Structure 1
């Protein structure tokens, strides 16, 4: 009897979290799946089955949106991992004003994404932007960063990296500081140099931090919307259209059921990429 009582007693502690999780995740998710199969407005709905999904997949720019979404996620994720690791190593080394520099690196993460998008849109203006005016001082003619179909997506991705690398750096700082000093002492006894310290100790033993950064940055890249919308609204043409911006345009047009179906597709797309990646990375993780 006592074992049954203890089990029930322990489950009672999970009940509040389970209720909250059900209300803010399970219920909205189930409602999204249902309304994705309807033609709905704020006051009425009609069940139409899978017609919304068929129509969404017939969207002319959808293939471009999938491609742009994947490229954007890979570029931003890769740069955040590399730059976050390098900054993490630098900001855990024996330098002065480490606390101040860490604050400077992390600061862009705290700024509104829309504000960052508007500010960089002005800075990247082809004629009056600060970036091209600076390049003109050294005799370089700057390109149309956001108006060139070949540069626009990469330009927005670099702004995303500037804004988000601080968060990746904080994760790496925590991972590097958790490495026991015994490893560094053993390397010093063996006559290892700074590169050996980085490559043989920091890189493998901060894999947990790397896994976290990869998963968070990759999912964030797949779900990106606000920065792209603030800077290009998916243009020029469809050059920076991602799945989320295509969905938003459907909402703007009043096709709520179609846009909801798009959200379901995006959820499945992100899950289909993120869950296997997370499982693969966790399998490769190095334990201290």
Structure 2
């Protein structure tokens, strides 16, 4: 009896070659590969080439007109910086504090601004407005508001009989003050991400909780909180990376002071650049890149597993 060949719709008896033909076809790109070429060229020219050049110049003492190869000496000098330990500690504290507050406040504001408020659209605009303002402008404005005695914040506290501290001039409050300003400026973006995540949750889940007699807390605890995890994941990653790399707001408000108490890795790098040690500052940038990568990749992996499990 002659064996019949399996057709295109063959069942379990189809040969392995036919069974794997369709999945292979599905894996093919939807567009011709040459359409990716312009984006690839931009990525190589704008990102990969400067990154490779930074790694090279980190191994040299260079100016605009000359360079001398010194190997790993720049890295040794940067790691021997007297204030690097303080800067690294401040960087971690700043990143954890700002990202944590953005997650908590962003979630609460997201829940509030997806409820049935009459001025919901206006309030969303108000919350997002600080994101649109220049970071340098925000730093200058809050530096004036937080001045001891003459600043608006201390004047308001004086009306209540409270003597405010030197917010930016006290080593105990300088970094915290800048972090709170950073949260004020960045929480709007976190809120928008949470709004998008909450609005994508099917209403059937909330209806099921209502049928079971659950109230607002049960809706938040058993529906909103777990199902908005993708938004939480995005906010944590984005805000944590931003916190680790933060420079402009810190430099505008405290310049790393008083003394070196609010220095971060980025501000230490900039001080080296100001002093004319270009190779040393480039090595610092490479070290910052490695530090951010070493922290964020495991964090991304852990949160990604949590997202799949959720």
TM-score, with normalisation over the residues of structure 1?
0.96
One of 186, 194, 201 as aligned partner of 1:172: 194
One of 38, 43, 49 as aligned partner of 2:65: 43
* CA offset digits 1:10-31 (Å, max 9, x no partner): 2212211111111111100000
Which secondary structure does the structure 1 equivalent of 2:263 belong to?
A: coil
- Whether 2:296 is the aligned partner of 1:280: answer no
One of 268, 271, 281 as aligned partner of 2:293: 271
Quick one: distance in 2 between partners of 1:122 and 1:9? 54
Which secondary structure does the structure 2 equivalent of 1:285 belong to?
A: helix
One of 217, 221, 226 as aligned partner of 2:248: 226
Matched residue, 1:214: 236
- Whether 2:194 is the aligned partner of 1:193: answer no
Quick one: distance in 2 between partners of 1:280 and 1:19? 32
Cα offset, 1:9, TM superposition: 6.7
- Whether 2:112 is the aligned partner of 1:90: answer yes
Cα offset, 1:63, TM superposition: 0.3
Taking a change above 3 Å as real, the CA distance of residues 243 and 114 of structure 1, as seen in their structure-2 partners, is same
| 1:91-170 to 2 correspondences below 5 Å | 91-170=113-192
Matched residue, 1:243: 265
Which secondary structure does the structure 1 equivalent of 2:124 belong to?
A: helix
Matched residue, 1:11: 33
Q: Which runs of 5+ in 2 are unaligned?
A: 1-24
4+ aligned runs moved over 6 Å, structure 1: 6-9
- Whether 2:74 is the aligned partner of 1:52: answer yes
Aligned residues of 1:204 and 1:286 also touching (Cα < 8 A): no
Matched residue, 2:276: 254
Task: Judge which range, 10-19 or 133-142, deviates more.
Answer: 10-19
Aligned residues of 1:205 and 1:286 also touching (Cα < 8 A): no
Cα offset, 1:286, TM superposition: 5.1
TM-score, with normalisation over the residues of structure 2?
0.89
* CA offset digits 1:77-96 (Å, max 9, x no partner): 00000000000000000111
- How many residue pairs end up in the alignment? 284
Q: Which runs of 5+ in 1 are unaligned?
A: none
Quick one: distance in 2 between partners of 1:194 and 1:119? 39
Structure number with greater Rg is: 2
Structure with the larger RCO, 1 or 2 (CA within 8 Å, 6+ apart): 1
